[in-house]
Structures are given as structure tokens and as C-alpha cells.
Structure 1
Amino acid sequence: MDSIDHRILDLLRLNARSGYGDIGAVVGLSASAVKRRVDRLVATGVIRAFTIQVDPEIEGKSTEAYVELFCRGTVAPAELKRILSAVPEVIDAGTVTGSADAIVRMRSRDIPSLEMALERVRVAPNVDHTRSAIVLSRLVHRSMD
């Protein structure tokens, strides 16, 4: 990948529906040259998907929280993935360093539904406890997927 490929990716992140001609005008290539580069980026797996982002509030998921997950003993990441995948309100999760075993991002309709989702996580056999922080306002969001 070169700097032009990176610029094309930046432009597609901003608007995946951008036309090849529009992208080409910015990066200094013809529409067909941009298409060839995008096709190569897709074929090599650099671009995994073209998608949309829907405002979570429109979908009725305006309550967001970050949750630290603490487990009893050692729990394999695959087991955490199994537990968390069963809770639809979990939209992102990863194992982390530090005292928590994982950080989980959740979205729900409201506080009572968030509490019910948290309870589904807490009752899993290997989960000891959680610590939650509810998001009051989103300051920066960059999609890096």
C-alpha cells in the first residue's frame, strides 16, 4: 500500500458511496485507476466490507456504557467471547491489561434495559463482577474498522 491507497481508504471511510471519479479528483487519478486500486484493496482483504452507520438513537439505543468485566480465575478469551456474544446489547469487547479481564461497550434502549443486559453478563459462571460507566456525551468517534 502506498500513500494514495491510504488516502483512498480515508475518503471511503468518510463516505463509502463516493464515486471513483470524485475520489480520483482528490487523489490525482482517473476514475478507472481508482477502481482498480479499490478492487485490489478488496481482493487482498484490506477492505473487508462497505457498510453504513445508523444513528443509534434512531434505532432506539440511546443509552451507552463502558463496562469493565472481572472474572474468577483464568478465563480463556474464547469463553469470554461466547458469554458476551449471547448479549445483543454488547457492541464491542476486548480483553485488556490491568485489573479488569475485559472492557465491554454496550448500547441499550434505556437504563432498565442496560441493567437487564448487565445482569445477563454478571450471571455467567466465570464472571465475578462488573464496573460500569454510562456515557453522558460522545466527544470523538472515529471508525477504524
Structure 2
Amino acid sequence: MDKLDAGIIDMLRLNARAGYGDIGDAVGLSASAVKRRVDRLVATGVIRSFTIQVDPAVDGLGTEAYVELFCRGNVAPHELKRILSAIPEVVDAGTVSGSADAVVHMRSRDIHSLEVALERLRTATNVDNTRSSIVLSRLIHRRYE
């Protein structure tokens, strides 16, 4: 991957529907050269997919929270994944360093449904307690997956 590939990827991150000609104008290549490079980036797995991002509020998931998860004893990451996968309101999670065992991002319809989901999380095997912070306003959102 070179500088031109990086420029193409940057353009596609901004707008996955951008035309090859528009991308080419921005990075200094012809539309056909951009297409060949995009095809190669897809074939080699550098570009995994082209997708859209829909505002979660459109799907009725306008309430979000970040939750620190504290477990009893040592809990393996695969066990945390099993617990968290059973709760549909969990949209992202990762194990972390520090006093918490994991940080969980949750989305729900409203505060009541968030509370119900948190209670399911709190009563899961090996979960000792949680500390939640409800998001009031989103300041920056970048997706790098």
C-alpha cells in the first residue's frame, strides 16, 4: 500500500459512494487507475466492505451509555464475550486495563429499556457490579473497523 492507496481509502472513508473520477481528481489518478487500485485493495482484504451508517435514533436506539463492568475473580475474555453477546443492547465492548474488567457501549430505546438491559448485565454470572455513564451529547464519532 502506498500514498495513493492511502488517499483513495481516505476519500472512501469520507464517502463510500464517491465516484472513481472524483477520487482520481483528488489523488491525481485516472478513474480507471482508481478502480484497479480499489479492486486490488478489496481483493487483498485491505478494504473489507462498503457500507452505510444509519443514525441509531432512526432505529429507535437514541439512548446510549458507557458502562464499566467489574467481575468477581478472574473472568476470561471469551466468557465476557458470551455474557455480553446475550444482551442485544450491547453494541461494542472491550476488555481494558485499570480497575474495570471491560468497558461496554450500550444503546436502547429509552432510559427504562437501558435500565432493564443493565439489570440483565448486573445479574449475569461473574458480574460483581457496573458503573454507568449516560451519553448526553456526542462530540466526535469516527469509525475505524
TM range (shorter): over 0.9
> Unaligned regions of 5+ residues in structure 2, if any?
none
Give distance in 1, aligned partners of 2:138 and 2:42: 31
Structure 1 match to 2:20: 20
* Corresponding letter in the other structure for 1:72: R
Structure 2 match to 1:32: 32
Deviations 1:83-129 (A, max 9, x none): 11111111110000000000000110000000111111111111111
Q: Return the offset for 1:41.
A: 1.1
RMSD of the alignment, in Å?
Answer: 0.8
Structure 1 match to 2:53: 53
What does 1:1-145 correspond to in 2, within 5 Å? 1-145=1-145
Q: Return the offset for 1:138.
A: 0.5
> Unaligned regions of 5+ residues in structure 1, if any?
none
Give the TM-score normalised by structure 2: 0.97
Q: Return the offset for 1:133.
A: 0.2
Post-superposition, which runs of at least 4 consecutive aligned residues in structure 1 deviate over 3 A?
Answer: none
Give distance in 1, aligned partners of 2:144 and 2:61: 21
SS state of the match for residue 58, structure 2?
coil
* Corresponding letter in the other structure for 1:60: G
Give the TM-score normalised by structure 1: 0.97
